[in-house]
Amino acid sequence: MNSAIVRNLLVRGMLAGLAAGLLALVVSYFLGEPSVDAAIAFEEAHAHGGEHGEELVSRTMQSTAGLSTGVLVYGVAFGGIAALAYCFALGRIGRFGPRASALLLAAAGLIAVFLVPFLKYPAQPPAVGDPDTVGQRTALYFLMVVLSVLLAVATVILGKRLVPRLGNWNATLAAGAFFVLVVGFAYAFLPSYNNVPEHFPAAVLWEFRLAALAVQVTLWTAFGLVFGVLAERVLAPRTAAPGEPAGQAAPVPH
């Protein structure tokens, strides 16, 4: 794949990430913010001595401009990285078209980058978690992300090598079992944290984590659908016009 195509896919990946970020922003605002507000109210009600730290940024600013900036910037960066991963994976994961490849990449990314780490270290709203362990919990979460991504790559490589010996179906099952087994070992050996305050509302915690899951599912799904369409315009042959030979490749835009 030449550099012009990679550049075009990178730009389209960032645009797809921006579009996915807009949808994720809507989901985050309507599903996530109410549980964040409830968690903050709990934290303030149970603050020692009724004292609260000085609020440097208002809650209104955090839930509007701050949330929008964070989600959209993340969407653009996420889209660019995913597009580069798409360029690397294209043709190496099977004979799939641009749209199918984008959706497969999105599904794999959702599982490896978010779902596997999330099941071990789920998202926590304000007032949940010991402040003294924030650094350690953050490091462990990103370690789980790195392990999951590397394991996903190893699983794909293993599956491809097993195909000549076992066939597509059995090779896929064997590689999937390998992935689940190693993830299970990681879950068992990495430390866990249960720092939920005794009287913290279980419904708020549940709603917050469901909202975090909904945001990521929206982000990855929207990216896969939008980027698949945009990538197809770069990679797939255009329909031949009258008088032109069929199957002529579409020119790469600059």
* Least trusted range by pLDDT, from 26-35, 42-51, 162-171, 231-240: 42-51
pLDDT, mean of residues 212-222: 95
* Structure letter (DSSP) for residue 127: T
Residue 252: what pLDDT?
40
Q: Give the pLDDT band of residue 128 (cuts 50, 70, 90).
A: confident
Q: How far apart are CA 40 and CA 63, in angstroms?
A: 12
Q: How far apart are CA 116 and CA 226, in angstroms?
A: 24
Does the pLDDT at position 109 exceed 60?
yes
Residue 250: what pLDDT?
42
Q: Give the pLDDT band of residue 241 (cuts 50, 70, 90).
A: very low
Residue 119: what pLDDT?
93
Q: How far apart are CA 60 and CA 151, in angstroms?
A: 41
pTM as predicted: 0.82
Helix (H, G, I), strand (E, B) or coil at 238: coil
Torsion, CA 144, CA 148, CA 154, CA 156, rounded to 10: 180
pLDDT, mean of residues 220-238: 87
* In the chain, % of residues over pLDDT 70: 84
* Least trusted range by pLDDT, from 39-48, 64-73, 211-220: 39-48
* In the chain, % of residues over pLDDT 90: 44
Q: Which residues of 144-179 are buried (b: 16+ CB within 10 A; e: fewer)?
A: bbebbbebbeebbeebeebeeeeeeeebeebbeebb
Where in the chain are the domains? 1-48+59-128+198-237, 130-195
Q: Hey, what are 62's tokens?
A: 């955090």
Q: Give the pLDDT band of residue 201 (cuts 50, 70, 90).
A: confident
Q: How far apart are CA 118 and CA 95, in angstroms?
A: 31
Q: pLDDT higher for 210 or 68?
A: 210
Q: Give the pLDDT band of residue 111 (cuts 50, 70, 90).
A: very high
